[in-house]
């Protein structure tokens, strides 16, 4: 434990990477499930939505009950990771039953609610003065974790589709072990002070927190719907190249994993330019791609694949900066509940976005990306309002 405490951020981000491998574990074997269970793109979209719904329910529960601040963060993280590993493995036994499989994916999302927000709280508890950069690493590992099922599938193409899911569960067990050994940092109260279960909601009364949250909500509308579409977008371009579809897993992983250096670079940039400026730049970049990518649908496949890489970098780079901005203005003793509540609302917005793009893909193709554009636009408007308010406050000072 003492050795891990010397490198707390490294330990937390590795655990975050391992734990969040559960998130898209089924998407990584989506093509195999289509063949084995007769699933459609819409069915895979339903399984993705089930995870999101579970995550939303879990974050609402820990925010409303105050569980995120009343239970030791390392214990809650580890318990959620271990339970998630079991539920994820159980999907293998029920994969041919869509309804039961969707229920298990819902439970997986429920467990992820104890991993992602609590990971953010653990980071702040160890490195509060470098929240923007540290959370950049954390969200970078979240990105790598959500992309990892495509990597695991690429590494096990010669093996049955069940193997990537089992490997993801083993990674989640390793995540729980690391966090239990590390424990909670010294810079935050381990338990919340007395108050009502809804006390975390008072963070939304703070204008800076509210602006950061609104920006995060716009980002959320785009992010997971884009990630859900990545294998479909990659498949389209490989088919246009008459290339083997065996490369779908590797290219999908690459596009999503590029978000990891995007988050890390955004974290470094935040030290010089501030989290708000970095978040606006990333959101503007991904929003521009929402607009122009469908217009370039007949461009050479290599060009569109390159644009997907740029999109992969920018689409997640703002996430940690929104969380850093929110953590700066949330009540310290309710930080876990405030971040969990913000996550809950943000992920609730991912459900209609995912449903829209996955159900309309077969008919409209890349044009469905225009459904994602309102998210970045509204997020930028919210952050613009925050910038104007900050300028007004400085003028008054």
Is the pLDDT reported for residue 370 higher than 90?
yes
pLDDT by residue (tens digit) across 58-82? 888 877 777 766 778 889 999 999 9
243 pLDDT above the threshold of 70: yes
pLDDT recorded at residue 237:
94
Taking the CA atoms of 368, 278, 308 and 34 in sequence, report the sign of the dihedral they define.
Answer: negative
Q: What DSSP designation does 395 have? A: H
Distance CA 103, CA 93 (A): 13
Residue 22 in tokens: 């559960």
The second-level CATH assignment, the architecture, of 2-185+204-396 is Up-down Bundle (1.20)
Mean pLDDT across 370-378:
94
pLDDT tops 80 at residue 342: yes
Q: What is the pLDDT of residue 392?
A: 38
The H or E element that residue 220 is part of is helix 207-240
Task: State yes or no: pLDDT of 188 exceeds 70.
Answer: no
Instruction: Report, as an integer, the average pLDDT of 118-135.
Output: 72
Question: What does the domain layout of the chain look like in residue ranges?
Answer: 2-185+204-396
pTM: 0.74
Whether the per-residue pLDDT at 5 is higher than 70: the answer is no
Residue with tokens 């039961």: 100
Q: What confidence tens digit (pLDDT) does each residue in 207-236 have?
A: 778 888 899 999 999 998 999 899 999 999
Question: What are 185's two structure tokens?
Answer: 């940092």
Mean pLDDT of 47-54: 89
Q: Please answer whether residues 9 and 134 qualify as being in contact, where contact means their C-beta atoms are separated by less than 8 angstroms.
A: yes
**Residue 195 pLDDT > 60:** no
Q: How confident is the model at residue 202 (pLDDT cuts 50, 70, 90)?
A: low
Mean predicted confidence (pLDDT) in 134-149: 78
pLDDT of residue 198: 52
Contacts of 123 (CB under 8 A, 6+ apart): 9, 12, 131, 134, 135, 138
**With pLDDT > 90 as the criterion, what percentage of the chain qualifies?**
35
Any long-range contacts for 96-101 (C-beta under 8 Å, 24+ apart)?
96/36, 96/37, 98/37, 98/39, 98/43, 98/46, 98/47, 101/26, 101/47
């Amino acid at each position: 434990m003492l050795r891990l405490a010397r490198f707390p951020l490294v330990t937390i981000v590795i655990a975050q990477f391992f734990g969040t491998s559960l998130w898209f574990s089924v998407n990584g074997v989506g093509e195999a499930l289509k063949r084995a269970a007769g699933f459609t793109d819409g069915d895979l979209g339903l399984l993705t939505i089930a995870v999101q719904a579970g995550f939303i329910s879990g974050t609402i529960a820990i925010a409303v009950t105050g569980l995120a601040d009343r239970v030791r963060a390392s214990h809650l993280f580890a318990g959620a990771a271990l339970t998630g590993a079991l539920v994820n493995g159980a999907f293998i036994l029920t994969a041919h039953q869509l309804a039961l499989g969707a229920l298990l994916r819902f439970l997986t999302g429920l467990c992820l609610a104890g991993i992602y927000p609590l990971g953010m709280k653990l980071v702040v508890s160890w490195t509060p003065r470098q929240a923007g950069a540290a959370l950049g690493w954390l969200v970078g590992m979240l990105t790598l974790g959500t992309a990892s099922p495509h990597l695991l599938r690429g590494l096990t193409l010669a093996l049955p589709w069940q193997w990537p899911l089992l490997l993801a569960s083993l990674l989640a067990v390793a995540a729980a072990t690391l966090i239990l050994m590390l424990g909670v940092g010294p810079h935050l109260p381990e338990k919340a002070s007395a108050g009502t279960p809804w006390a975390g909601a008072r963070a939304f009364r703070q204008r800076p927190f509210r602006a950061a949250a609104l920006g995060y909500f716009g980002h959320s509308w785009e992010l997971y719907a884009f990630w859900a579409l990545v294998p479909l977008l990659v498949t389209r371009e490989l088919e246009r190249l008459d290339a083997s579809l065996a490369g779908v897993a590797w290219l999908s992983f690459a596009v999503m994993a590029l978000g990891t250096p995007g988050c890390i670079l955004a974290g470094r940039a935040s030290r010089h330019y501030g989290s708000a400026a970095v978040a606006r730049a990333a959101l503007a970049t991904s929003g521009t791609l929402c607009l122009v990518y469908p217009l370039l649908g007949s461009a050479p496949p290599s060009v569109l694949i390159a644009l997907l890489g740029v999109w992969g970098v920018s689409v997640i780079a703002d996430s940690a900066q929104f969380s850093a901005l929110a953590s700066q203005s949330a009540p310290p003793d309710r930080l876990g509940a405030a971040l969990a509540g913000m996550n809950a609302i943000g992920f609730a917005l991912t459900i209609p976005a995912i449903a829209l793009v996955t159900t309309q893909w077969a008919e409209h193709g890349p044009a469905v990306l225009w459904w994602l554009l309102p998210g970045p636009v509204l997020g930028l408007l919210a952050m613009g309002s925050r910038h104007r308010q900050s300028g007004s406050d400085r003028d008054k000072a």
